[in-house]
Amino acid sequence: MGHAHAAASLLPVLALPVLAALAGYAGAAAGERGRGRRWPWARTLSWTAGVLLVAAAVVLVPDGFAGHMAAHLLVGMVAPLLLVLAAPVTLALRTLDVVRARQLSRLLRSRPAQVLGHPVTAALLSVGSLVLLYRTPLLGRMLTDPAVHALVLVHVLASGCLLTAALVGPDPAPHRPGPRVRLLVLLLATGVHGALATDLYAVPPAGVPAAEAREAALLMAYGGDVVHVALAVVLCGQWYRAVGRRRARAAGPARAGRALPA
Amino acid sequence: MTGAPHGARRTPLLRDRTVGGGALIGVAAAAAVDEIVFHQLLAWHHFYDVGTPRAALLSDGLLHAFELLAGVAGVFLLLDARRTGGVDRLRAWGAVCAGAGLFQVWDGLVHHKLLRLHQVRRVEDLLPYDLAWNGAGLAVLALGLVLLARSSRAARAG
């Protein structure tokens, strides 16, 4: 049985969460505008693109290892960037009623959430689990069993969102380490991701033809590079704006006699 | 940039964003030349060399990651230098050359020789290739240091 056929049978299962995600976000954003508060269209666009990308990657991706790799790149790296930059938590905090919003914000500030959302944890869960996936018999199970593949995709999406949010999330994150630590984590994650891609090129996983493994490895290496550079641009851009704001604040009230901090 | 680069006059070399940003961009530029000329055009270097140990693969992955992120971070550091007093062109170019040269020599000595990750070219007699590779790196590094020294002198002279 072709894998694409199995994926197509997922369509009805997938339709409900996809529609809920799209409608929920669009409704909340429209509500914000209705109350006269700004919610950038770019964020709604980013969210919609992210959700549709996940759906497309799950349903349309072809058979084989390279196809899976393409799906993983889209679901685990590109879509999370689009989803996280849409600031869904901020939107939820603004639109939920007070009690619910407080519960959500308490949950986000809780100790487990802090540990889970730390860039190092998030990187281990996301890039670390790739090592497990590609270097253990889990890969064989995933390639043959659509249910296992669905679970893996959910994990790839969730851990990708976690890492992206930990690195560049626009949602409030009071305990997040500074940009230097986050850039260092991005560096290590990028390095391990690239090394794993080269390793897959060198030693194909059990049961995968060498040519297909190489195609997948190159896709992982270069596709990964593109998204990692995009993450670095967003991260450095946030640092650049934050430094500018900090300087303006420092220079604002006491401009006289105060030098710009280096 | 016109105007007096007064940021460059007082700041120590290593904390100077013009120098830091320029050097990082230099690293990224040298890496880009390596990728475009030696991997893609000449195909002397390869995505992977048979027999490379896994530890070396990890080091190569980290180095590649550093090259990518260095370019991005370097651009933002220079942008920040530009909005806080301007970028001294001589100093920026000096830093770019120093970063590129340093990277080339690092690649030539540590990666090619120490870790034996890959060689300049798969040939019998590597010596001319190694001399050219590291010599070019050293020359660019020296040029960068001369430019940096000159910009420091010019800043001191005011």
A108 touches A162 (CB < 8 A): no
Could you tell me if residue A258 is inside a domain?
A: no
Mean of all residue pLDDT scores within chain A: 89
C-alpha distances in Å from residue B156, one per residue of B21, B150, B152: 21, 10, 6
Helix (H, G, I), strand (E, B) or coil at B116: coil
pTM (2 d.p.): 0.87
Q: Distance between CA A237 and CA A234 in Å, rounded?
A: 5
* A residues 92..111 contacting B (CB < 8 A): none
Q: What is the pLDDT of residues B29-75, one digit of tens each?
A: 998 888 877 777 776 777 677 777 777 788 888 888 999 999 999 99
In A152-211, the residues whose Cβ lies within 8 Å of chain B are 183, 186-188, 190-199, 201-202
Q: Is residue A74 part of a domain?
A: yes
Write down the residue that tokens 């060689």 correspond to. Answer: B119
The span from the CA of B42 to the CA of B132, in Å, is: 16
- pLDDT tens for each residue of A62-91: 778 899 999 999 999 999 999 999 999 999
The confidence band for B11, taking pLDDT boundaries of 50, 70 and 90, is low
Q: Residue B11: CA atoms inside 13 Å, Cβ hemisphere, count? A: 23
Contact A163, B42 (CB under 8 A): no
Chain B: give the shortest CA distance to residue A23, in Å: 36
Q: Using CB atoms, which residue from A195, A244, A260 is nearest to B60?
A: A195
Q: Does B65 touch chain A (CB under 8 A)?
A: yes
Query: Under an 8 A CB cutoff, do A199 and B54 touch?
Result: yes
Q: How far is CA B158 from CA B5, B9, B12, B93, B154, in A?
A: 10, 8, 16, 19, 6
Rank A44-48, A54-58, B87-91 by mean pLDDT and report only the highest: A44-48
User: CB contact, 8 Å: A62 with chain B?
Assistant: no
The pair of structure tokens assigned to A1 is 């049985």
Burial (0-12, 13-18, 19+ Cβ within 10 Å), A237: middle
Residue A222: its pLDDT value, please?
94
For chain B, say whether A233 makes contact (Cβ under 8 Å): yes
Subunit contact A198:B57, Cβ cutoff 8 A = yes
Do the Cβ atoms of A191 and B66 come within 8 Å?
A: yes
Phi, psi of B15 (to 5 degrees): -100, 0
Q: CB distance from B20 to chain A under 8 Å?
A: no
Q: Say what the ipTM of the complex is.
A: 0.85
Q: CB-based contact (8 Å) between B64 and chain A?
A: yes
Residues of chain B found within 8 Å of residue A237, distances taken between Cβ atoms? 76
What is the tens place of the pLDDT at every residue in A120-179?
A: 999 999 999 999 999 888 888 888 888 888 899 999 999 999 999 999 999 888 788 999
Contact at 8 Å (CB) between A176 and A122?
no
First to last CA, chain A: 63
In a domain, A211, yes or no: yes
| pLDDT tens digits, one per residue of A232-258 | 999 999 999 999 999 999 887 655 444
CB-based burial label for B154 (10 Å; 0-12, 13-18, 19+): middle
Locate the domains of chain B by residue range.
12-157
Question: Does A260 reside within a domain?
Answer: no
CB contact under 8 A, A183 and B73: yes
Q: How far is B142 from chain A (nearest CA, A)?
A: 28
Question: Amino acid identity, residue B105?
Answer: V
Under an 8 A CB cutoff, do A260 and B85 touch? Answer: yes
Count of CB pairs separated by less than 8 Å, A with B? 84
Q: For chain A, how many structural domains are there in total? A: 1
Residues of A in contact with B15 (CB under 8 A): 262
For residue B89, what are the contacts with CB-CB under 8 A and spacing of at least 6?
B1
**Confidence label for A6 from pLDDT (cuts 50, 70 and 90):** low
- Residue range of the domain that includes A54: 3-248
Interface of B with A in 126-155 (CB under 8 A): none
Distance CA A248, CA A253 (A): 9
- Of A205, A53, A186, the C-alpha closest to A133 is A205
Q: How far apart are CA A197 and CA A195, in angstroms?
A: 5
| CB pair distance less than 8 Å for A244 and B15 | no
- Helix or strand or coil: residue B4? coil
A186, A202, A260 ranked by CB distance to B69: nearest: A186
Q: Residues 6 or more apart from A206 whose CB is under 8 A from it?
A: A137, A139, A140
Q: Which two structure tokens, joined as six digits, stand for A113?
A: 């959430």
> Which SS3 state, helix, strand or coil, does residue B6 take?
helix
Assigned domain for A259 exists: no
**What is d(CA B46, CA B70) in angstroms, rounded to the nearest whole number?**
22
Mean pLDDT (whole number) for B3-20: 64
Q: Which of A182, A224, A262 is nearest to B73 (CA)?
A: A182
Give whole-number Cα distances, A119 to A114, A161, A239, in Å: 10, 11, 16
CA-based nearest residue in chain A for residue B53: A199
